Amino acid sequence: MNVYLGLDVGGTKVAVGVVTGAGEVLSTLRQDTAACRSGGDPLREIIHLGRAALAQVDGAALEGVGIALPGPVNRDGITMRAAPTIPELQEVSLRGPLTTAFGVPAAGDNDANACALAEARFGAGRGGRLVAYITLSTGIGGGIVGEGRVLRGVTGAAGEFGHQVLLPAGGPPCDCGNTGCLEALASGRGIARRAALAFAAEPAPGGPDHGQWTAERVAERARGGDMRARDVWSETALYLGLGISNIINLFDPDIIILGGGVAVGAADLLHDPIREVVRTRCMPSLVRTVEIRIAELRGHTGVVGAACLAMEMQHL
C-alpha cells in the first residue's frame, strides 16, 4: 500500500505516523521532545521513530516523508530559521538526512501550514476551494490552502493571522514586538491576561496555590454562570470575529476553520458568538458564501499534516 510518513516535531512531543493518501493513520508513535534531545542528536531519534512506525505497517510502499516543525522554515533545505524549543535543529538542513534515511523525497514546513493542509484536505475543509485555517492555542497562527496547496507568500510567512493589529493605540504588547495584535488580545495567553485584569480583586482560581488564570479556567467559570468570565469570552469572540472578518474581506475563502486547543476546547463559548460578529462586521456579499467551522481532526492533526506536506510536494 502506498503511504506517506509524517513527522510532527513539537516543542514538547514528537509524534510520527504512517498515513495513506486518503488521510488514514495506519500507525503512530510518540516521544517527549526532551527524550529525543537527551542523546544530543534529536534528528537521529526522530528518524529512528519514523522507521519504527513504518516497520509496524506490512507492505508499506513509502511515497514521501514530510516533517512539520515548531517555527519558521526555509523549505528549500528544510531548515528551521529559529528553534527555541529544539535548538539542535536550528539552521540544520534536514532535507539531505531525511531523503537519505527514507530513500524518498522529503518536504517540510511549519506546523501551522501542515495542520492547515491536514484540515483542508481531510478535516473540516473537505471540498473547500480556499480554506483559511486559524489555530488558537497559546498563540494564534494559521495557514491558507487553495486548490490543495498552501499559499505561502514570498518568504513562507503568509497566514500570520495572529499579527493583525486590531487596536491601533493602547493595545497590550505582543510577542512579535507590536501592540494590539489579535494574538495579544485573543490567544490563550491573551485570554488569561484579560481574565486576570477582570478578576483583579479576586485571588487566582482555587486559591494562591492554584496558579494563574488560563483559558480553560475562564471557560469553566463562564460555563458556571460567572458574568465576568462570560464577558472575557464575549470580548474574545469580538476580537476573533473581527480578525476572521478581515481574513474573509482580504482572501474571500469559502471555509474558515478554527483549530487549536483553545478553539476546540471552548467551541461552545466561541463558535456562535464569532459567527454573530462576522455576520454583522464582514462585507455582506461575502458572509453568504463562507462557512466557519471547528476543526475536525483530533489527536493526529500534526502527523497527518506532516504527511500532507509530502503529498502536496507530489502535486506541484
What residues make contact with a second copy under the rule CB under 8 A? 72, 129-130, 151-161, 163-168, 176-178, 238-239, 242, 245-247, 249-254, 280-286, 289-290
Number of residues that make up the chain: 316
Q: Which of 94, 49, 96 is nearest to 68 (CA)?
A: 94
What is the smallest separation between the CB atom of 114 and a second copy, expressed in angstroms? 17
- Please, which residue, 298 or 315, has the CB nearer to a second copy? 315
CB 269 within 8 A of CB 234: no
C-alpha cell at 108: 517540510
- Please, which residue, 255 or 307, has the CB nearer to a second copy? 255
- Please, which residue, 108 or 205, has the CB nearer to a second copy? 108
- Please, which residue, 65 or 130, has the CB nearer to a second copy? 130
- Please, which residue, 17 or 241, has the CB nearer to a second copy? 241
Alpha carbon distance 16, 27 (integer Å): 8
What is the smallest separation between the CB atom of 94 and a second copy, expressed in angstroms? 20
What is the smallest separation between the CB atom of 28 and a second copy, expressed in angstroms? 32
- Please, which residue, 17 or 125, has the CB nearer to a second copy? 125
What is the smallest separation between the CB atom of 178 and a second copy, expressed in angstroms? 5
CB 254 within 8 A of CB 130: yes
Residue given cell 531523503 in the structure block:
99
What is the smallest separation between the CB atom of 154 and a second copy, expressed in angstroms? 4
Exposure string over 204-240, b if 16+ CB within 10 A, otherwise e: bbeeeeeeebbbbbbbebbeeeeeebbebbebbbbbb
What is the smallest separation between the CB atom of 120 and a second copy, expressed in angstroms? 13
Alpha carbon distance 248, 255 (integer Å): 9
What is the smallest separation between the CB atom of 234 and a second copy, expressed in angstroms? 12
- Please, which residue, 57 or 286, has the CB nearer to a second copy? 286
What is the smallest separation between the CB atom of 245 and a second copy, expressed in angstroms? 6
C-alpha cell at 36: 529525543
- Please, which residue, 37 or 152, has the CB nearer to a second copy? 152
Spell out the residues 6+ positions from residue 245 whose beta carbon is closer than 8 angstroms to its own: 277, 278, 281, 282
- Helix-, strand-, coil-residue percentages of the chain, each rounded to 5: 45, 25, 35
62 pairs with which residues across the strands? Answer: 3
Q: Which of 171, 177, 226, 224 is nearest to 194 (CA)?
A: 171
